[in-house]
Chain A
Amino acid sequence: MARFALPLALFVGWWLATARGWVKSYQFASPRDVLAELANLAATGALWHDIGASVARVFAGFAIALALAIVLGALVGGSRAVERVLDPTLQAIRAVPSLAWVPLILLWLGIGETAKITLVAIGAFFPIYVALVAGIRGVDRKLVEVGTTFGLSRAALIARVLVPATLPQLLVGARIGLTQAWLFLVAAELLAATNGIGFLLTDGEQTTRTDEILVAILLFAVCGKLSESGMRWLERRLVGWTDTVPV
């Protein structure tokens, strides 16, 4: 129950502040207005349309990032030679705050779906890549030796020892990457969008409707929490064998 105490207190505070007129409704909408706006958006179908658009962008960008990170991470983690060629460049790109790419992406790709998905993919890529390379480097050499004593081929060693041994790190990276994907989605949809949860934010700002803005924030919180819980569930299912305290 303790976990609900603070949200409940915040909600009561919010309700009191708006009901007593401590804050103006154009600065902060009341809970009733926010719920009414939520119901309104749901009734017109705009809510599901916007959630669907945002979720689709996040998953498309995340899937691309995951695929690229697995390929590049496996290459860099598996070979020092490839690491020397690729890793310094990737680390340099990583050092650039990812939002700095936005103008370039807009110039190259316009303001369509491709640009948004690309931005999401850039945000999600690096946590997954970094975690995977660290995971491969950190595989217990002693377990690899066991495979060697049984005469496993290189392919079998990868499939039966390296992949399962690396999976926990990959999943942690993927969880952080998915969080990053939502972060970058907001940036992408704030810049240019005609739908999506981020569109509700800009629309609410331009029409000074704080109820709409708060609905958008609420939706981001729910979506972010749901995808994080989903990833944690996946971790428990797939790598519950780890003997470490989950982060």
Chain B
Amino acid sequence: MSAARIRGLRKAYGAHLVFDGLDLDVARGERIAILGASGCGKSTLLRCIAGLERPDAGTIATTGEVGVVFQEPRLFPWLDVRRNVAFPARTAAERARVDGVLGLVGLAHAAQRLPKQLSGGMAQRAALARALVRDPQLLLLDEPFAALDALRRIELRAAVREILEFTRASAILVTHDVEDALALADRVLVLAGAPADIAFEGTVGDGATRAAILDALGVAEYEGRARRATSR
């Protein structure tokens, strides 16, 4: 059984065709990273899986709960950290998980604080805890470290890695940072083209080396540049 299965995804914004028949599978417990140039459609893909965008065609099937972490923490400013984390909880069992996930992200001491009293890194940890409360089988991470400084980024990346290993949840990480991908993912995909498709795919420690990914990203980018240059 797979955590996510996408078949024939088609999505357009007006005349701009983002995807036209994209297929993607994420196995249970598998962590994939999706890289690509800005505007290539990687966030759109994640938003389609999260149910925030409606595909024009194709099917998206996910198993179990899906948790989403966005680039910004998106905490509810009127709730303290504990209430933010408890926001998605529907059952007594989920409510009972609140303290556990707060501890997991290292925020047990800040449970009473309001979002305006948190640093960027702490706020993003709270957002991560909120995404974990329903014990999701699939975590969608949309550039979750992009708004953080270099040190916080490394810290939170390590924390996410530990959490993913602990919860055994599948994850789809969208990022533009090769280091994020190598640190967190089992498999790396590069999206490129318009409509976008998978231009590169490799397993970390096997085909997906830093050089190979950068090359795939670079080739995609250079091709775009060359096309623009020759059309001038």
Contact = CB atoms under 8 A, between A and B. Distances in A.
Interface of A: 142-143, 145-146, 148-151, 160-161, 164-165, 167, 239, 241-243
Contacts of A150: 87-88, 134
Interface string B181-209: 00000000000000000000000000000
Interface in B62-78: 66, 68, 70, 72, 74, 76-78
Contact of B74 (A145, A164, A167, A239): A145
Contacts, number: 42
Closest 5 CB pairs of A and B: A243-B116, A150-B88, A149-B68, A241-B78, A164-B78
Contact of B52 (A148, A164, A167): A148
B51 interface: yes
A152 to B, nearest CB: 9
Interface residues of B, number: 18
B114 interface: yes
A239 B78 contact: yes
Interface of B is mostly: loop
Contact of A142 (B74, B114, B115, B134): B74
Nearest to A238: B78
Given A149-B52, A241-B116, A242-B77, A142 B72 contact: yes
A140 B51 CA distance: 18
B6 interface: no
A149 B51 contact: yes
A151 B88 CA distance: 9
Contacts of B115: 241, 243
A129 B167 CA distance: 48
Nearest to A164: B78
Interface string B66-106: 10101010101111000000011000000000000000000
